[in-house]
Structure 1
Amino acid sequence: MRSPKSTPVIEMHGVGKVFLAGAIENHALTDIHLVIGRGEFVAIAGPSGCGKTTLLSLMGLLDTPTGGALLFLGEDIAGVGRRQRAALRNAHVGFVFQAFNLIADMTVAENVALPLAFRRDMGRRERIARAADALASVGMAHRMSHYPGQLSGGQQQRVAVARAVVGEPAILLADEPTGNLDLRNGETVMTLLSRLHAAGTTICMVTHDDRFSAACDRTLRLLDGRVVDEATFWQLKREAECGIDERRTTEIFP
């Protein structure tokens, strides 16, 4: 039997996700098999519409699969209700979004402490102390009393990272965290994520930027809702760029 420390954060076995639009089925993900181990830094890459954000939503317990098995910290999510999923998500998952998603009329410290408001065993003083520590870890302690509108885009994203890690989650999920930033600020955020990973944080990041995915331990390549190997991914990408029709995809995925 695996010990809690050796249990992967996420396991997927034959996972699929189908969205229904009337009588039409949209197979967003098909037959996904993957394991995210503790302390890994994993990139998820692929073209727009290939299922990256859907996969991240399943990992973060924001949605449930329509097929296969999803295990979170060793627990099969199939038997977990919505309220319990929310509790698991609040306790063990940190999110960083492309659009920052900070609340404009709350201070930086209040934004960062917000996820801790649902921790019934934690008083206000401890929440403030945790928020201060998280902000210090991203170099934003001097901006605690400012509001999001008073910060640059790069600073807002650093605050968003602090909010994501303030609860010491089992995994940090980042959806295009550099997508709304210029090159310099994007590199700053990526350096920050790499530093958090070096300190032991498990991170899974969606990115279109191969420079950033190269800094990760490994990259999951998604194409048409499936995980494919590197050679297949780049072969199909070259064919698509050369204008070759999509019948080749059908040959590989019958």
Structure 2
Amino acid sequence: MRSPQPSPVIEMRGVGKVFLAGAIENHVLTDIHLAIGRGEFVAIAGPSGCGKTTLLSLMGLLDQPTHGEMRFLGEPIGGLGRRQTAALRNAHVGFVFQAFNLVADMTVAENVALPLTFRGGIGRRERADRAGAALASVGMAHRMGHFPGQLSGGQQQRVAVARAVVGEPAILLADEPTGNLDLRNGENVMALLSRLHAAGTTICMVTHDDRFSAAADRTVRLLDGQVVDEATFRQLQREAECGLDERRIMEIFP
């Protein structure tokens, strides 16, 4: 008998997100159905303003959906309080940001160890050992005592990746991780993410660059806050280049 498949790391059913600006409702995400399986590398692609970063924030438990159901590691997150959500996020989610978000007055090693300081039961020596191992895995162990300002952009992003994986998260979320890098450093960071994926890391990455989304197992196309299939996405791209009128938009997104 075949053993049951493990539940997805993240599962969304009919998820939507609405932001209020006075009496005006801004529907950023609408009816999202999406699952991220263990060990997958998923890219979320789409034009600026389509809801990619908002979707990643929901996945990373930085925000909650306005409606719909979301499960993380098989458990519903709708009824969790702020403290419970923060503990779940710190234990199981690693983040890589476009702007690196390293603390300027902390060393590379201290930056990488930082997420572990918010977990109970991990002493200073263990934090240092785990930070060193994470830095070695991204080829930055030799820069352990340096400060972020002494590193190149590509090196800072490698440190940011080490910080994201030091806690052995269930999923690594990367928001435009190559956005502030030149092509060569961007390719180096993508090669690093591919190696982590090959070693078993579950990754979900937001990108607007098809060259980098090609590294993923699959690409989820987002347009105007909705998931669309590849054919529809390409069709709308072509029509947008020719000037898509309002009537056509309403036909596609009633």
* Common fold: TM-score over 0.5: yes
Corresponding position of 2:132: 132
Corresponding position of 2:212: 212
Corresponding position of 2:225: 225
Larger mean Cα displacement after TM superposition, 125-134 or 241-250 = 241-250
1:251 aligns with 2:251: yes
Opposite residue 252 of structure 2, the aligned amino acid is I
1:19 aligns with 2:19: yes
CA distance in 2, matches of 1:161, 1:74: 26
Alignment of 1:1-254 (within 5 A): 6-254=6-254
CA distance in 2, matches of 1:208, 1:167: 28
Q: Secondary structure at the match of 2:110?
A: helix
Q: Structure 1: which 5+ residue stretches go unaligned? A: none
Q: CA deviation at 1:247?
A: 2.4
Q: Secondary structure at the match of 1:12?
A: strand
Kindly tell me: are residues 5 and 112 of structure 1, through their superposed partners in 2, closer, same or farther at Cα, counting changes over 3 Å? farther
Q: Structure 2: which 5+ residue stretches go unaligned? A: none
TM-score norm. by structure 2 comes to: 0.98
Q: Secondary structure at the match of 2:215?
A: coil
Kindly tell me: are residues 173 and 4 of structure 1, through their superposed partners in 2, closer, same or farther at Cα, counting changes over 3 Å? farther
CA distance in 2, matches of 1:212, 1:81: 36
- The two structures, once aligned, show a CA RMSD in angstroms of 1.1
Q: CA deviation at 1:119?
A: 1.1
Per-residue CA deviations over 1:23-70 (Å, capped at 9, x if unaligned) read: 000000000001100000000000110000000000000000000000
Q: CA deviation at 1:140?
A: 0.1
Q: CA deviation at 1:5?
A: 7.2
CA distance in 1, matches of 2:64, 2:244: 35
Per-residue CA deviations over 1:125-163 (Å, capped at 9, x if unaligned) read: 000000000000000000000000000000000000000
Q: CA deviation at 1:184?
A: 0.3
Q: CA deviation at 1:245?
A: 1.5
Q: Percent identity?
A: 86
Opposite residue 199 of structure 1, the aligned amino acid is A
Q: Secondary structure at the match of 1:79?
A: coil
Moved over 4 A (4+): none
